[in-house]
Amino acid sequence: MILRTLRALIVDADGVLWRGKQSLPGVPAFFDFLRERQISFIIATNNSARPASDVVGRLARVGVEIEERCVLTSAEATARYLPRLVPDARRVCMIGGEGLSDALTRAGYQLVEQDADAVVVGIDFALTYEKLARAAREIGRGVKFIGTNGDKTLPTEDGAVPGVGAILAALQATTAVAPILIGKPERAMFDIAVEKMGAAREATAILGDRLETDIEGAQRAGLKSILVLTGVTTPELLAQSSIHPDLVFDNLDALRAAWVRAY
């Protein structure tokens, strides 16, 4: 019954559409199904380092053509949500990469090193002590301190490396100010996705592979949740968890087959 009522989907990327550099099975057929049934979708990712065009390009390589408006990065969500946190902000002190700088400048913000109206922090692979010091000074002036997401680590083929959360922790230790987080599992990210689609909340679900971000985020946002077991969550982890999705499938093909049967 849940699948029959869904008209919009917020789709996680890593662990659902691909794992690392490897595309997962069933992706083209799944997007064909969504289009055939006129089900709206947004691909939502906590990755703030790269612009939405990277997701578009990666899907194109497996035969899935989408527009950039169908992608929501935590960088774009932050830029869109910033007016609700600091309505008169024009100048932003930023730590982050191309994806975040592009999202903020497109939204009309000026990137500055001092006298900012807000400090916005995303993942920065060229992080320096001076960048941290500069942001700490601005936070110390009392401006809003905002993080694109709170992921403490990033998974790589060589193991976990520091994520945005580690940068935020350094600034919080320095300033004693906790950041306002935007990305998953925070509700702000999902609210922006629902607004972009113009969807009804009761007809929207989140499709992901992580219990603590995708599924918990869905519950915080009052949305339905669908878990696929192609990413970090195993059946064993699911059985031990206190976070329970509405629906669970082995992979995208299994989800698509069940959705077809639901009509």
Helix (H) or strand (E) holding 118: strand 118-121
Q: How many CB atoms lie within 10 A of CB 5?
A: 12
- Please tell me which residue in 12, 102, 191, 209 is annotated as part of the active site: 12
- Please tell me which residue in 14, 102, 124, 209 is annotated as part of the active site: 14
Q: Is 210 helix (H, G, I), strand (E, B) or coil?
A: coil
How far is it, in rounded angstroms, from Cα 82 to Cα 180? 10
Instruction: Kindly give the interhelix angle for 98-106 and 74-85, rounded to the nearest 10 degrees.
Output: 40
How far is it, in rounded angstroms, from Cα 74 to Cα 86? 17
The CA-atom distances, in angstroms, between 16 and each of 68, 173, 188 are 18, 34, 21
Q: How many CB atoms lie within 10 A of CB 41?
A: 21
How far is it, in rounded angstroms, from Cα 124 to Cα 156? 15
How far is it, in rounded angstroms, from Cα 19 to Cα 2? 27
Per the annotation, the verdict on 253 as an active-site residue is no
Side chain identity, residue 66: I
**Cross-strand bridge partners of residue 43:** 11, 71
How far is it, in rounded angstroms, from Cα 67 to Cα 55? 10
List the catalytic residues: 12, 14
